[in-house]
Structure 1
């Protein structure tokens, strides 16, 4: 009995020893060890760092040629550097990246990238970071360092993209467009294919919160029909042909100079893009055009909201893809809206009251008017706002009424669309401004104008018809003013002008919440550049105001 107990005790002790060894082993395997044991762990970035960048070319007529990344470690910017203009060849930027925690002592991290025909600096003159310049195809030079701490500095490149055009810009925080195009061959130089690089973490943009200014004022700038291209674009019907003698008209730079001047002179609190920011068939890289449209606003920290026109999805991106880009950009209020509602871009923007008020003072309804008629045989021309969009609008407006009543001043509602409503054709109504072309409204009337009036919308403003810039007044059955319907007026030189020397223009809406008033006017690109054209009060005391003497 005693011998049996001793044997059991020995077995129990051995078992306990095995358990202790196992626990220690597991603890050493999974516990976080001090940095002195692990060596240096990069802590500045949460994701990937770029370890190499190159350009690959391939031939469509060579069955053994392809541009696929060589391994899973490599990624590719999915933009043909020839913008699909090379009938027999393509080229792409590829980059290798690694997670920080996977970096080894032999890995190199890209800390700089330049485009040049000559080496930027000799390897013998390596800088303090220890990196050396290494040549790649297309005039690409990458400076890489084997020091793992490079990934922990502000120099490490963490992502790569491709944009196009001599006027290419990148509004994303932390991104930089290289000022020299890729030098692969004459085609990439003509297309001005450029690399844009990011340093640091991806920046998560917080939606701005627009508010009425402390003086009770708020100004909206409507940018209608910019028609920006990939690259400089071609001017259509410029007036004058040369604003400065000998200065050739380049569409996008001239459009952006016009917009920039008005931003600085008018200092709007918010900008609404009312569609056709992109010129469709001249935008094989829609991203480059979208970036140009918002860069001036990002630089000035001005919130903006965008809807689409019939040309915005005629480039290489559809509406959903373009809206995804817009949603992720700094100072953007843009939203795709509910998936169950027709279109992309049915949403609202609430402008809060001044000071610490958390109540809405202004509500902007933005709706997608789609593109071309789905039934050309019966209703030629353009598409219309769909029944489920109207239901969404009415449901949203009615659900907000109680909340808006909490605002101690006069709350106001307005709407922005791209394609005008059929009622824009009713020339018997009072209107003020330029009417130079027949309004290209849908052939089918879905009843959205009545819905706007029923829900207390004070004005709706459209784009689409470039040389119409009037505001038209609708009245109810008692001949009481019920709704203003305005045009923004075409601003971009990439879209048509014509019709007797039309000068590009931009519409503004200036709100004074102290008296519940709104004044609208336009500014011109040329000629009377300092004048406010067709200035008139359209809202007073928080209600639609009809034409009065002196307006």
Structure 2
């Protein structure tokens, strides 16, 4: 399979800058559904030849699910070979004619290029919907993707957010990065804009980013919170809580957040009527379980609900659920 992708790269890579088709409009299908697959923590390493075989399994997942959008939620490329690694994603998504977008993780900060430079590069790639520096907030992968309905109006929103890398306050505060106050203001501004355009009613929305919010830990430890899936390792969230979750609760549009970062967690937990969810780490691992996979989400036009499940690279389907229907008990948390 690796040789097939190398052949695709030879065909696609030389001209992909000139043939970029990254301004497609996302729309609900005639049946009223819109399907998203989330790949996360791919950690592609060209020099060491690590995780190059993931693309065969990605292609199998795409062929099984026939999604409308792929979201790659951070830690995409290991080390500094980002210019050599992204063409593998281009070859996959352009071959499948599948729109895609990337939000950055903590490992997407490179010595060879700034996050801003990589964000500008992504804007040029075929079928990639990234918008660099949208709105001037801190971070390089903050943008909103509206999903349009039959009326040609936005019927749902996908917030793509840069959860940043490491603490900017060392040595006083160590650990992983957190959402800057400017990003919370950016989210509030966009949420209010789309709510006003929808006659004052918040649009159903999802948010995709890399590092879990502190509320992931609070929610899992709340015994009254309904959950599906497993916690297999500590939740590695930032030490500082700047209030992004509180903003989402107050604005009332976000139904679920989808992260990566922790490679062995794959749960969904209902916390104050927001689904706090992990994807399934999309890299090759020595352990048999959990296997490489993708989280699938299906939005429903005109409804504040979604279906979700894990699709493993083997084709196996796990953890089917509907939000909020599968979490009807203890819905206050």
Question: SS state of the match for residue 108, structure 2?
Answer: coil
Distance 1:303 1:289, change over 3 A: same
Question: SS state of the match for residue 52, structure 2?
Answer: helix
Task: Report Cα offsets for 1:330-368 as digits up to 9, x if no partner.
Answer: 1111111336311101110001003xx320111011111
Question: SS state of the match for residue 311, structure 1?
Answer: helix
Question: SS state of the match for residue 239, structure 2?
Answer: coil
Aligned to 2:244: 448
C-alpha distance in 2 between matches for 1:305 and 1:277: 12
CA contact (8 A) 2:22 2:99 kept: no
2:73 pairs with 1:274: yes
C-alpha distance in 2 between matches for 1:338 and 1:291: 24
Aligned to 2:34: 218
Higher relative contact order (CA 8 A, sep 6+): 2
Q: In the alignment, which of 201, 222, 227 is matched to residue 431 of structure 1?
A: 227
Alignment of 1:31-430 (within 5 A): 168=6, 176=11, 197-198=14-15, 202-203=18-19, 205=21, 207-231=23-47, 233-234=49-50, 251-253=51-53, 255-279=54-78, 281=79, 284-314=80-110, 316-338=112-134, 340-354=136-150, 357-405=151-199, 411-426=203-218, 427-428=221-222, 429-430=225-226
CA contact (8 A) 2:229 2:268 kept: yes
Residue 396 of structure 1 and its aligned partner are, at CA, apart by: 1.1
C-alpha distance in 2 between matches for 1:197 and 1:468: 38
C-alpha distance in 2 between matches for 1:213 and 1:396: 25
Structure with the larger helix share? 2
Residue 300 of structure 1 and its aligned partner are, at CA, apart by: 1.4
C-alpha distance in 2 between matches for 1:323 and 1:538: 32
CA RMSD of aligned residues (A): 2.7
**Which one has a bigger Cα radius of gyration?**
1
C-alpha distance in 1 between matches for 2:270 and 2:166: 27
Distance 1:545 1:430, change over 3 A: closer
CA contact (8 A) 1:334 1:345 kept: yes
C-alpha distance in 2 between matches for 1:547 and 1:212: 30
CA contact (8 A) 1:362 1:411 kept: yes
Residue 537 of structure 1 and its aligned partner are, at CA, apart by: 0.6
C-alpha distance in 2 between matches for 1:363 and 1:514: 12
C-alpha distance in 2 between matches for 1:515 and 1:472: 20
Distance 1:170 1:369, change over 3 A: farther
C-alpha distance in 2 between matches for 1:488 and 1:288: 25
Task: Report Cα offsets for 1:420-475 as digits up to 9, x if no partner.
Answer: 00111122233211201111000111111101111111111111111011011112
CA contact (8 A) 2:265 2:278 kept: yes
CA contact (8 A) 1:167 1:231 kept: no
Q: In the alignment, which of 325, 328, 331 is matched to residue 546 of structure 1?
A: 328
Distance 1:202 1:515, change over 3 A: closer
Distance 1:169 1:392, change over 3 A: farther
Distance 1:413 1:288, change over 3 A: same
C-alpha distance in 2 between matches for 1:517 and 1:388: 29
Q: Which runs of 5+ in 1 are unaligned?
A: 1-164, 178-195, 235-250, 476-481
Q: Which runs of 5+ in 2 are unaligned?
A: none
Aligned to 2:274: 483
2:313 pairs with 1:525: yes
Distance 1:388 1:263, change over 3 A: same
| Matched residues, number | 323
Question: SS state of the match for residue 473, structure 1?
Answer: strand
Residue 397 of structure 1 and its aligned partner are, at CA, apart by: 0.6
> Normalised by the size of structure 1, how large is the TM-score?
0.55
CA contact (8 A) 1:285 1:315 kept: no
> Normalised by the size of structure 2, how large is the TM-score?
0.88
Question: SS state of the match for residue 349, structure 1?
Answer: strand
Aligned to 1:465: 262
C-alpha distance in 2 between matches for 1:379 and 1:535: 39
Distance 1:293 1:231, change over 3 A: farther
